[in-house]
């Protein structure tokens, strides 16, 4: 909710409708696939706590993570219009999930046009984040990819109150990081060392410490515009 409210007003009635739409809650351990590609879905999943990834695998075992999800993200709101996903979704850490049936969402599209537009917005925010990923893996250097991802996560976690004071929890492996950036874990390790040595940031023990926010942004060529942080009537 905090994520939506940053971008537009959310009336009390709308908040009530949204809360009423949620059905059961669930806890899932780390490393579990929670949504498989190609399976027809009849509910959407909201991540309440933990860290989750959307990814695809190639035949030779290589994995590419499309997007890292943090608390407050809908993992598969895309499945409401699409009816199924073409990629997998899995937990990177133990997570808590809440489910929203497609029926309830359909009712929202019938009765709540403004709320519908906000949910639509939320799916397109994913798309914008994923486009930035295309730019990263397509054209940025290895060190810039990692720096950029860290800037992105700092802002996104800050929005939901999970970052601040130039630090945040990131309880994932360097392998996950490599799969997100389109690199090998060996090279990620070397680049993290370089970022540490140059005094830009440290990633250790599941925590990120940013030592020089300005320089980190410079290395990454980071601009938060793609996160559409502006508050507007939508």
The site for its own copies (CB under 8 A) is made up of 37-38, 54, 56, 58-59, 62-64, 66, 78, 80-84, 86-87, 106, 109-110, 113, 116-118, 120-121, 123-128, 130-135, 137-140, 181-182, 221, 225-226, 228, 230, 232, 234
Closer residue to its own copies (CB): 58 or 204: 58
Residues numbered 23-82 forming contacts with DNA, rule: CB under 7 A: none
Closer residue to its own copies (CB): 26 or 223: 223
Q: Which of 190, 211, 215, 228 binds DNA (CB under 7 A)?
A: 190
Contact 187, 179 (CB under 8 A): no
Q: Which of 175, 209, 225, 229 binds DNA (CB under 7 A)?
A: 175
Q: Which does 141 bind (CB under 5 to 8 A by kind): DNA, its own copies, none?
A: DNA
| Residue whose token pair is 């073409």 | 86
CA distances to 49, 71, 188 from 27, in Å: 9, 13, 30
| Residue whose token pair is 């601040």 | 164
Q: 77-80 long-range CB contacts below 8 Å, 24 or more apart?
A: 77/44, 77/105, 77/119, 77/122, 77/123, 77/126, 78/123, 78/126, 79/35, 79/41, 79/44, 80/44, 80/105, 80/106
Residues numbered 130-149 forming contacts with DNA, rule: CB under 7 A: 141-143
160 CB neighbour count, 10 Å cutoff: 15
Per CB under 7 A, 184 contacts DNA: yes
| Residue 25 φ then ψ, to 5° | -110, 160
Residues at the interface with DNA (CB under 7 A): 141-143, 173-175, 182-187, 189-190, 192-193, 204-205
């Amino acid at each position: 909710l905090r994520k939506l409210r940053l971008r537009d007003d959310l009336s009390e009635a709308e908040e009530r409708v949204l809360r009423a739409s949620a059905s059961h809650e669930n806890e899932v351990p780390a490393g579990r696939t929670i949504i498989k590609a190609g399976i027809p879905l009849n509910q959407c999943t909201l991540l309440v706590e933990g860290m989750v990834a959307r990814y695809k695998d190639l035949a030779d075992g290589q994995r590419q993570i499309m997007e890292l999800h943090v608390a407050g993200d809908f993992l598969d709101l895309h499945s409401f219009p699409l009816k199924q996903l073409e990629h997998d979704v899995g937990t990177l850490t133990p997570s808590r999930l809440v489910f929203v049936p497609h029926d309830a969402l359909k009712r929202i599209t019938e009765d709540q046009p403004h709320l519908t537009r906000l949910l639509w917005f939320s799916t397109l925010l994913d798309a914008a984040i994923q486009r930035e990923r295309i730019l990263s893996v397509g054209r940025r250097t290895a060190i810039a990819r990692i720096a950029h991802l860290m800037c992105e996560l700092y802002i996104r976690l800050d929005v939901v109150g999970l970052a601040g004071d130039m630090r945040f929890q990131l309880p994932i492996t360097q392998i996950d990081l490599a799969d997100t950036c389109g690199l090998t874990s060996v090279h990620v390790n070397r680049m993290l060392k370089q970022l540490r040595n140059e005094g830009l940031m440290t990633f250790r023990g599941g925590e990120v410490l940013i030592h020089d926010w300005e320089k980190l942004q410079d290395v990454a060529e980071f601009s938060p515009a793609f996160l559409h942080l502006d508050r507007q009537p939508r």
